[in-house]
Amino acid sequence: MRELKITPIKNGTVIDHIGNGLALEVLRIIGVRELDKDSSVSVAIHVRSGKLGWKDIVKVESMELSPRKVNAIALIAPTATISIIRDYKVREKRVVDLPSRIVGVLRCPNPTCISNQPEPIESEFEVTDRRPVVLTCAFCERRVDDFLRHLA
């Protein structure tokens, strides 16, 4: 392994091939304040990558990502791969995949949208374009392409 800039982890999740400079957004999505006490996080920023030129890597011990967090990562870092490590070995590896609906991940930018009212309605967006990704609010049809600013 040429790439061991970070200590190996026994159990946890590796998010690799994150576009250069986006690791901090991925950390925001993971929610560092919500991690339990065994979850150390290592971050490598601006690492050489054959495929991407430069990339970031995030490794979190003792944690597996919820589907909702994987969806949010897919929006911000569509090139990312997610590997589950158990007993120091890669047990599962998948590329992130953008579903056709994104529920509860972003806030609608329209302040009068029903999903922004005090009632408990989860935000919901349809993926109406993939290259580049454009989302359309299921309630008010407002379009969003600036995801970083609207993470819930």
Positions in the binding site for ligand ATP (CB under 6 A):
3, 8-9, 14, 16, 57, 59, 81, 83, 85, 88, 90, 93
Residues binding Zn ion: number (CB under 5 A)? 7
CA 65 → CA 8, 21, 25, 30, 48, distances in Å? 18, 21, 15, 8, 25
Choose among 116, 117, 110, 118: nearest CA to 136: 110
Closer by beta carbon to ligand ATP, 47 or else 113: 47
Closer by beta carbon to ligand ATP, 17 or else 124: 17
β-sheet bridge partners, residue 49: 53
Q: How far is the CB of 138 from Zn ion (least distance, A)?
A: 8
Written as six digits, the tokens of 132 are 């580049």
Name the one range near Zn ion by CB under 5 A: 20-28, 54-62, 73-81, 105-113.
Answer: 105-113
Choose among 67, 68, 99, 70: nearest CA to 82: 70
Closer by beta carbon to ligand ATP, 26 or else 57: 57
Name the one range near Zn ion by CB under 5 A: 31-39, 77-85, 102-110, 128-136.
Answer: 102-110
The identity of residue 45, as a single letter, is I
Interaction between residue 113 and Zn ion (CB under 5 A):
yes
β-sheet bridge partners, residue 103: 124
33 contacts 57 by C-beta, under 8 angstroms:
no
Interstrand relation of 53-61 and 12-19 (parallel, antiparallel or unpaired): antiparallel
Q: How far is the CB of 146 from ligand ATP (least distance, A)?
A: 29
Q: How far is the CB of 121 from ligand ATP (least distance, A)?
A: 38
What are the residues binding Zn ion (CB under 5 A)?
A: 108, 110, 113, 137, 139-140, 142
